[in-house]
Structure 1
Amino acid sequence: MKKAALLTAACLFAVSASAQAQGCMADIKKNGLTVGTNPGYPPFESLDTNNQIIGLDPDLVNAIGKKLGVKVNWVNQPFDGLIAALISRKIDVIAAGMTVTAERKKAVSFTLPYDNSENVILARKEHPEYNSPAALNGKSIGVELGTIQEKVAQGIKGANVKALNQFTDAAIAVQTQQIDSMLIDRVVAERFTKTYPDLRITGVLNKNAKAMAVRKDCGDLLSRMDAAIIELRKSGELGALRKKWLNK
């Protein structure tokens, strides 16, 4: 997440700190669990032909909602505004294929991880040489605004980073040769190579854990969600969802 957004999130967190002892489950039981996402990241979340949010994150959160005995309400908004929305109490949970980072941990609490996958370089087939950060020196790299991939790209020497509103926008830009490459999670990249046949994975970068985020004053919600994730692991339901959406 960008530094400016994190500073905003930190300020919002300071405002809400006085409520830390109260917890969140009482309100959630009454009003439902409001979950924020950005459905342009298949197979974690996307929109179907009926404009409904589908993917691993929705299925997992809905399963957790059943364990908690609460209704799940979804909010669609840009990825780079999700942490601010969480801390300002517009949403209760972020479920958006979000990578766990030390920087984000300063503002939010993360559940147990539900996936650990690689970031990769996605480029056109005629450029297999774009296989490492060094190979992207002087090249343009597309990323989604506010993502961990944006931060990784900003650390690549000599790269021209293009932060776009959606990863889909970046994939189209690579396909149409407006930019040279993009950084993205492997499972999402594999989906894009099917949609955009001129693209291929040309390099593998770091691994990252994905989890859902809650406010720091919602320790009761965090513990209930973690307990539900453990139950879903033990029952095999989480494994079945990962196989369904990630083919893992």
Structure 2
Amino acid sequence: MKKVVKVGMACLLAASMFGCSSSKGEENTKVITIGTSPDYAPYESLDTDGNIVGFDADMVAKFEEYLNEDSDVTYTLEFKQMDFDNIITQIQGDQIDVGISGFSYDPQREVEWSEPYLGSSQVAVLPADSDIKSLADLEGKSVAVQTGSTGEKAAQEIKDANISGLKSVQDIMNALAAHQYDAAIVDGGVAKNYVDNADFIMLDEALLDEQNFIIAKKGNTEIIDLMNKCIEKFLASQDYQDLCSKYSLSPVVTE
């Protein structure tokens, strides 16, 4: 059974889906469930106690504060841990309300998209002793990607690359450290985290520039509107700038 991690408020007896509510005195309570794959530091990972931590966890904590300001509804936001490539399936099956797990835009994903909340990119990570110096040098090489990610699509643009899909970024990086692959294509923030903390290097040139979004079931504009209100407030706050600096992630570029 996947572990459920709650953010912020105490455990409520409310139902597990957004829109289902129960009475707490005269106050309604609503639980918003969030699918995430906590193998994606610095966005989300597990600490030694099994709690989900990282930029997205801190962001969600702020969202819970925003939703409960001057509201007659008490909101609780819960993380549900699962494989990345299962999140959209769980959303479409009404098992969770939203996905927050470093999602970048892909028109083939049949979901509702929020406004962007971070800048992102797909980059190549290599063992520290690699002789690969440019994207052109990846031609014909073995490349690991996370199944279902936009990194998987970016890797398909590498000429004659031998691409392998793995479910977990941790598995990808462990295999790369063991020289089972020549390179891995992952999110730029994730890549930097591994380069700073382990024996890896990364190429400066990105394969793909992106942004990160929250996703929900196609047609569920109500929950996306709620998330967008939180994103707007978050992006205008000092907390946003502080968290981008703390986790070395790129603020979203707005017009």
Range class of TM-score, shorter chain: 0.7 to 0.9
* Match in the other structure for 2:98: 93
3-state SS, counterpart of residue 127 of structure 1:
coil
* Match in the other structure for 2:124: 121
Deviation at 1:49, TM superposition (A): 0.6
Normalized per residue, which structure has more helix?
A: 1
Deviation at 1:31, TM superposition (A): 4.2
Deviation at 1:81, TM superposition (A): 0.8
* Match in the other structure for 1:222: 224
- TM-score by structure 2 length? 0.81
The one-character-per-residue Cα deviations of 1:122-176 (angstroms, maximum 9, x if unpaired) are 11233243421x3222210011111110111123221111111211111111111
Alignment RMSD: 1.8
3-state SS, counterpart of residue 103 of structure 1:
coil
* Match in the other structure for 2:169: 167
**Alignment check: 8 A CA contact 2:18 2:97 kept:** no
The one-character-per-residue Cα deviations of 1:93-132 (angstroms, maximum 9, x if unpaired) are 100001112222xx11111111112211111233243421
Q: In structure 1, how many angstroms separate the alpha carbons of the residues matched to 2:66 and 2:219?
A: 21
* Match in the other structure for 1:157: 159
- TM-score by structure 1 length? 0.83
**Alignment check: 8 A CA contact 1:94 1:213 kept:** yes
Q: In structure 1, give the amino acid aligned to 2:102.
A: G
- Stretches of structure 1 that go unaligned for 5 or more consecutive residues are 1-23
Q: In structure 2, give the amino acid aligned to 1:56.
A: F
Percentage of matched positions with identical amino acids: 27
Q: In structure 1, how many angstroms separate the alpha carbons of the residues matched to 2:237 and 2:45?
A: 26
Normalized per residue, which structure has more strand?
A: 2
The one-character-per-residue Cα deviations of 1:165-191 (angstroms, maximum 9, x if unpaired) are 211111111111111110111221111
* Match in the other structure for 1:52: 51
**Whose relative contact order is higher, 1 or 2, with alpha carbons under 8 Å and at least 6 apart?**
1
Q: In structure 1, how many angstroms separate the alpha carbons of the residues matched to 2:249 and 2:214?
A: 20
3-state SS, counterpart of residue 238 of structure 1:
helix
Q: In structure 1, give the amino acid aligned to 2:138.
A: L
3-state SS, counterpart of residue 233 of structure 2:
helix
- Stretches of structure 2 that go unaligned for 5 or more consecutive residues are 1-16, 22-27, 69-74, 251-255
**Alignment check: 8 A CA contact 2:34 2:96 kept:** yes
